[in-house]
A and B are shown apart, each in its own frame.
Chain A
């Protein structure tokens, strides 16, 4: 690390922000002792606030930390040992050429990677201090804490707008409080409420592409996640819809930690606090976004962000 303490570093945390993080964790403890972790480890979820809206306001995002993460498809190693931290309530962008393992890495965080036949992961993924790959962990609870938005908007085709948003609370058999209120809160959170409030019973598939993607964000917000993973969420959208999602990301980070995979480097520059550059399944460099784009330490990063390859 360079003396000024602000240079990009490889998969490490500089002391300044670590103290910042500790402060935030302290605040979170004040708000509700160890809530997020209890949600994952045991069924003692009854201590959650009954009102989803109030809970969401008080909630802070979780820190996510990868330690020696390796991911395989059969024998092929797609992610080759990554150490990386996603700080709480920050937006971290993952950039890199196609096939470099960005999506695979992100899908390891909520354990969706293992849904693909033959796929497995090694290493540790820590939510705060909790390893989601620990054998005692309930994978369903991990996915409730770590939401995901996919590349193509994919509202459930048989369901209305309301039912799409309500799907999370309903499907996870954890209906607490007023479902209508939860749906409204989630739709407001996704900036979609004003556009759909008077047609909640219409099919979700009838919305425009950008609205569908915000519906999908609302759907993942409805289960009150503490981390949201976005896998190229704007690649199927036009520039105006993209802008709306980006504004939304800016708002959402008040409540959650966001990891966004993107091919669009302008997008990374616009929305991300920090940016990580991946190549061939390895992490090349991570640091504050501006520094990754203006004065990267690794020549490969510079070549990529200046458009020399990829």
Chain B
């Protein structure tokens, strides 16, 4: 009997005290409320996008160019074909510029530069570049390639602005993934008598590739949604164009123009275009996730 008593007393100190129980409940509630508040705008955005955007969607919405008829009650305003194709073309060119360069910089930083002062300087400037507002890239290209050369807006100039925007994101995400490749793999390949460039191409890059693609696709998604760098580099236009040397329409710029229109139908087209853009970026993110699931790196 006394033994039981003694043991229950020894066990009592393991009970959770009421004060701690209260604090726990309070903290949990606080975190939950915070999460709910953060979800409100997210849910609202998706809700409005779907409600207003889906209403604007139709087959002709995707297959016709905007007509420029924004008055007279908004009949026959056209679709967003030129904007979709323009975004795809310009982002593709921007990717073609920034991805090889960015991956090259990342490989150099991880495999060669390591902690040298030059590598540290490069890292610092890449970080600075990450924080530069997107409109500054547009402004830079505007000054250099449009004012500087006395020439006109062009799709490829927009692409270069987007590429500059993507570059730091590509470099940093690729660098992080390359650092995850175990040093033991490099060592065992080097110990086999493989030259360093072979080790990089045949061992390091294949191992890192899924992870690197994830980062790259996120950079692509970011570029696809940017308005500011395109406003005064690629301009806006109505016609579908496959000439990156001329004016080129894009989804963000189309949305920007349409939203300021007094005609309801045109504003609705902006919602439809916004939904299209979100779906395109969502698809990219989905692909990025699928690829990263196949990654062999933790």
Known: A112-B187, A150-B184. A158 touches B192 (CB 8 A): no
B206:A171 contact, CB within 8 angstroms = no
Q: Inside 8 A of B114's CB, which chain A residues have their CB?
A: 117
For chain B, what secondary structure do more than half of its interface residues adopt (helix, strand, loop), or is it mixed? helix
Q: Which of B141-195 contact A (CB under 8 A)?
A: 182, 184-195
CB of A110 within 8 Å of the partner chain: yes
The contact of A143 among B192, B198, B206, by CB within 8 Å, is: B192
Q: Which of B182, B184, B192: most chain A Cβ within 10 A? A: B192
- Which stretch in A59-67, A194-202, A216-224, A279-287 binds the other chain? A216-224
Q: Which of B190, B191, B199: most chain A Cβ within 10 A? A: B191
Known: A158-B296, A170-B202. A223 touches B193 (CB 8 A): yes
B190:A143 contact, CB within 8 angstroms = yes
CB of B115 within 8 Å of the partner chain: yes
Q: What is the distance, in angstroms, from B205's C-beta to the closest C-beta of chain A?
A: 9
Give the docked Cα–Cα distance between A154 and B191 (Å): 12
Kindly supply a per-residue 1/0 record for chain B positions 90-103, scoring 1 wherever the CB is within 8 Å of any chain A CB and 0 otherwise. 00000000000000
Q: Inside 8 A of A168's CB, which chain B residues have their CB?
A: 192-194
Q: Which of A168, A170, A171: most chain B Cβ within 10 A? A: A171
Q: Inside 8 A of B182's CB, which chain A residues have their CB?
A: 154
Q: B: which residues have CB within 8 A of A?
A: 114-115, 182, 184-195, 198-199, 202-203, 206-207, 296
The 25 sampled A-B contact pairs (Cβ below 8 Å) are: A112-B190, A115-B187, A115-B190, A117-B115, A140-B193, A142-B193, A144-B192, A145-B193, A147-B192, A152-B184, A154-B184, A154-B188, A156-B203, A157-B185, A158-B206, A158-B296, A167-B202, A168-B192, A171-B192, A171-B193, A171-B194, A171-B203, A172-B193, A173-B195, A219-B192
Q: A: which residues have CB within 8 A of B?
A: 110, 112, 115, 117, 140-145, 147-148, 150, 152, 154, 156-158, 167-168, 170-173, 205, 216, 219-220, 223
